[in-house]
Structure 1
């Protein structure tokens, strides 16, 4: 059957906002109803057209948003970015707790040794920004000897965070000969025997690496194994996944009987885990002051700096790192592969590999927000990459070097002229923040070059800036004069140093 092309509207399918829909509908109406000529806003037909255009505008907006969430470069929701990264084989890093050492000493009158069990809590002073002290826990038993002169000190390793749970659960002895033990757990629910059961943990933020799940039959508990996903698993595997959503709620999910076993009906689901993690746990030496719960005859006599704490990996960092890890395909061949594989280890936000010889590779690493990784994190990177490197190649892991860059000085400040009707102090603060943003990861990386044009562009984009003159920009370890480009070595990352700004004009 022939189609009369004259009766078919020429619809512009790229016009997807309110005005476009309205104009297209009215143009189409001219062909179907030529006798309808009124375009008054009070006309009932125009009202209906505008209502449909309004509805189309809303639908188009959500269609665009849904489409954006399907791509790593345009997704805005953290859950979408994490899901895409996991499809690429990259597991974004959750918050990491700070670690350090605490010295314990006996008080006069302690006549016999006292054992501080693993998990003994120590605290800092009250911190107003958090409205609480920061808690750390010992990672192993610490034996404090009896009081003598000079007073002995015993050092124990501690990690930031707190163990959760309201009761203890006895575990069955393992088939490998491990004796029965007890663990502190939280009751999270009871299995109903259905597929893909999910339970939530009561406290947050959860340190996912510490989550352990046990099924309690009333006599003892059997531990299940945490996996990142259910791929390549069997119906008999006692496994679960632990995922934290955008709201900070952690979900425990079991298998469906095909990929992963289903917990038997009636068994209690219990969880052992710790909460904590974040850069706030990085504290200077001597910050740990006391035991959370006093123990007679035992006191805290000192502490080392607490280091290695980091916030969860930001979205922009995930966008950068996920494709890098995907390109390695789980093996290190090229120089770039060695650096990209290091990103799979928790606590590593950026890495640079340098080949010194045919049999040695040095990997420089840095943590989130340019935090220096701990010795344990460096060892974890070396072990992970070494297992995937070429035979005969030795992998060495070293922290990257942070190079402060000073912008302006007391004698050569950054001069900023503020436009009329803009508040001078507000613009000055915005300029300082814009300069800091230039040095914020992932804008900067190993071997970055910071040119004066980068800073001028950032400053000029600040609303209210009329003109600006940068009189000095230099590395803190070089002469503090001139505005030459800042060039970093392959193991160096530029960070913002001092910023001195003088603003004029405005109000």
Structure 2
């Protein structure tokens, strides 16, 4: 017979049995071989009918056996359920004669009980020798120990100054009952407080050393940033916002250049458009936000308001997706390639009132083509402009409208020049603490101004307007100018690649928003010497605070970058500030940094290249292929862009994608980008009209439904490039469903359903047209390019 063991907690067992909401151990039996234990529970176990709790079955990692003096540890090999409420635990060896404890735990690294198990009934003490013959009773006789004199009470939870002081004063009163001195100046009190202060410091250092050693317990941002850096995850310190600035100027400003770095200030009562440095400093002290222009702009009063040229047409509209327009070139414009231009609605299309203009119909483009021309009809001077597809107009912009009772045609939109990009942050001198280099300890100064700007560089040669606002082209770096007698120091994410003579430094952001500087050690980066005297200038302003609303920035400080510019009438930001991001939280880093080690940061296989290309904005799908091209491997990446279009025809997009892909390219591999291949479709439908519908209306509805562009309601058409990608099949059922959803369609029959460039291959019978793995379904229904797919509609049953 196996021995029965039970503790004296019968009331607890009875309460758990009656409650029936949590489970616990009832008793334990040792099998005769002493290598298996039968643990009986109060309620059915997980995995049984009526299980409490209703969770996955208990496994080996949730059973632990501790104890023993000669034979230890005891390893659990397997668990099973031979009968209801019983868990059989198989162990690797019998134990010795000392007591052991079986414990239920939530996992191998915790002592907490599994969810749904009573914490007082999740352990049980037993002996492997319970089946050995003995004349002694099973129950141990109760025994009372003689009272012992109390020892000193030591509070091991004392971890700070107050608790250390209390413990030591209590011990003094115990050792000296007659001691009553409580004056702060008393020798014992002074000694206790000095010891408590020292103990508090050591206690904090002890806790901090253990806590900061792991990313899961580290409390300081700098510690977490260093941990994540070890696994290639850069803790984001946020970055500043950007916004486009428009300068409305008079003729006195013509030909003058507003230099990069000109401060632009948020609206402050009582200030004009162009303010002095004193007014600027006063406004900053009162909490105004400051931006600074990022590129030079040549001012011209003719660029304040530029009319669109309608070519003698009425009710004109610049359609969504447009990349070209024609402007009135009188007075003479001086626009050039690379200039920013604002396109916006200025008047309501129904009332002709400025207050009714839609403020959301404003868009900035960067010009890629500027050609002077004239209207051959009347000789009017015009300027043809174009911009990149990345800056394509995202909405329909009405250019003119008939307003009023007389139906007079008036312009309701215009273009505006004198536009430049600005980003958040104000330059100011910053003090360092300490400001002198120590002789023995490492120099770790702090910049005593919080909120240092983290900014990204702007490529003024190739960056489109949309990419400039996204502000995600490169890692953000602290905007700090640090100088000493040896020159200017350069900020880097780390010093691993710095040589011993390099003036390189690392800025580390703490929890309060202050930057701490970490210098080299004369192995990786130059170490400062006591003769170094540092001076620092820094920009202040970062994060989402810079994502200001439109028309918030209203003052410029043209005198800050040289001589003041005359003729500044008005300053505004026609678009809201965007791109500003706050520093990444520690909770976010703890969650995502460990998982980042599973992210492939090198493109090795074809699937790696496809995944790498998908990370680039504007790529819908990508397919890669590795080929041996004679002397090396070449990776051919075929890219399906969002919205369609050729990557080779858009050089800025192509260069940006190449730069992105080169970051993952292995040495010895060439890289080639290709446009996708298309599978043009020939589709012919027989349409039976419903009653009381005209053939023309239904045909127009079907053509709108199956368009390769945008439908009249703004949705993507059935054959829009974003609806299909590499290898996506075209199902006949989808064609039937789309056609039947058009008003006026009574029935549909597919007469022709095949590829345009190949013979039919039973597509109607199979109900699907499947392109090759590298091909994309295409049907543009353009009579000029039938090789891009055709759609024929045979209308029957017309009125």
Aligned to 2:484: 216
Answer whether contact 2:304 2:418 (CA < 8 A) is retained.
no
Q: Of the candidates 298, 311, 332, which is equivalent to residue 143 of structure 1? A: 298
Q: Deviations over 1:77-134 (max 9, x none)?
A: 43333221111122111121111211113236x266443332211123369xx97333
Deviation of 1:287 after TM superposition, in Å, equals 3.1
Deviation of 1:270 after TM superposition, in Å, equals 2.2
Q: Which is greater in Rg? A: 2
Q: Deviations over 1:288-311 (max 9, x none)?
A: 222257855213344242221111
Aligned to 1:161: 425
Aligned to 1:360: 637
Unaligned runs of 5+ in 2: 1-68, 72-97, 104-109, 113-119, 121-143, 164-201, 270-284, 306-330, 334-416, 455-476, 626-635, 643-651, 676-799
Q: Of the candidates 187, 211, 230, which is equivalent to residue 495 of structure 2? A: 230
Deviation of 1:142 after TM superposition, in Å, equals 3.0
Give the TM-score taking structure 2 as reference length.
Answer: 0.34
Answer whether contact 1:206 1:273 (CA < 8 A) is retained.
yes
Distance in 1, matches of 2:147 and 2:613, equals: 67
Deviation of 1:158 after TM superposition, in Å, equals 0.4
1:392 has 2:671 as partner: yes
Q: Given the superposition, is the C-alpha separation of residues 381 and 212 from structure 1 closer, same or farther in structure 2, using an over 3 Å criterion?
A: farther
Distance in 1, matches of 2:557 and 2:493, equals: 34
Q: Given the superposition, is the C-alpha separation of residues 37 and 95 from structure 1 closer, same or farther in structure 2, using an over 3 Å criterion?
A: same
Q: Bigger CA drift: 197-206 or 186-195?
A: 186-195
Distance in 2, matches of 1:92 and 1:364, equals: 30
Aligned to 1:300: 570
Distance in 1, matches of 2:529 and 2:246, equals: 46
1:52 has 2:194 as partner: no
1:254 has 2:541 as partner: no
SS in 2 for 1:262: coil
Distance in 2, matches of 1:210 and 1:280, equals: 17
Q: Of the candidates 117, 129, 132, which is equivalent to residue 259 of structure 2? A: 117
Q: Given the superposition, is the C-alpha separation of residues 60 and 190 from structure 1 closer, same or farther in structure 2, using an over 3 Å criterion?
A: closer
Answer whether contact 1:282 1:309 (CA < 8 A) is retained.
yes
Aligned to 1:95: 238
Answer whether contact 2:245 2:574 (CA < 8 A) is retained.
yes
Distance in 1, matches of 2:614 and 2:207, equals: 35
Aligned to 2:590: 319
1:96-495 equivalences in 2 (<5 Å): 96-107=239-250, 110=252, 113-125=255-267, 132-145=287-300, 153-165=417-429, 189-191=435-437, 196-208=442-454, 209-217=477-485, 222-291=487-556, 296-305=566-575, 306-328=577-599, 330-333=601-604, 335=607, 354-358=621-625, 359-360=636-637, 383-389=659-665, 391-392=670-671, 394=673
- Provide the aligned length of Structure 1 versus Structure 2: 333
Distance in 2, matches of 1:187 and 1:68, equals: 26
Q: Given the superposition, is the C-alpha separation of residues 55 and 314 from structure 1 closer, same or farther in structure 2, using an over 3 Å criterion?
A: closer
Aligned to 1:175: none
Q: Given the superposition, is the C-alpha separation of residues 235 and 293 from structure 1 closer, same or farther in structure 2, using an over 3 Å criterion?
A: closer
Answer whether contact 2:214 2:227 (CA < 8 A) is retained.
yes
Distance in 2, matches of 1:246 and 1:191, equals: 24
Q: Given the superposition, is the C-alpha separation of residues 194 and 299 from structure 1 closer, same or farther in structure 2, using an over 3 Å criterion?
A: farther
Give the TM-score taking structure 1 as reference length.
Answer: 0.51
* RCO higher in structure (CA 8 A, sep ≥6): 1
Q: Given the superposition, is the C-alpha separation of residues 4 and 102 from structure 1 closer, same or farther in structure 2, using an over 3 Å criterion?
A: closer
SS in 1 for 2:671: coil
Answer whether contact 1:342 1:381 (CA < 8 A) is retained.
no
Unaligned runs of 5+ in 1: 21-33, 167-184, 366-375, 397-507
Answer whether contact 2:478 2:491 (CA < 8 A) is retained.
no
Distance in 2, matches of 1:379 and 1:163, equals: 33
Aligned alpha-carbon RMSD (Å): 5.3
Answer whether contact 2:614 2:620 (CA < 8 A) is retained.
no
Deviation of 1:340 after TM superposition, in Å, equals 7.7
Deviation of 1:241 after TM superposition, in Å, equals 1.2
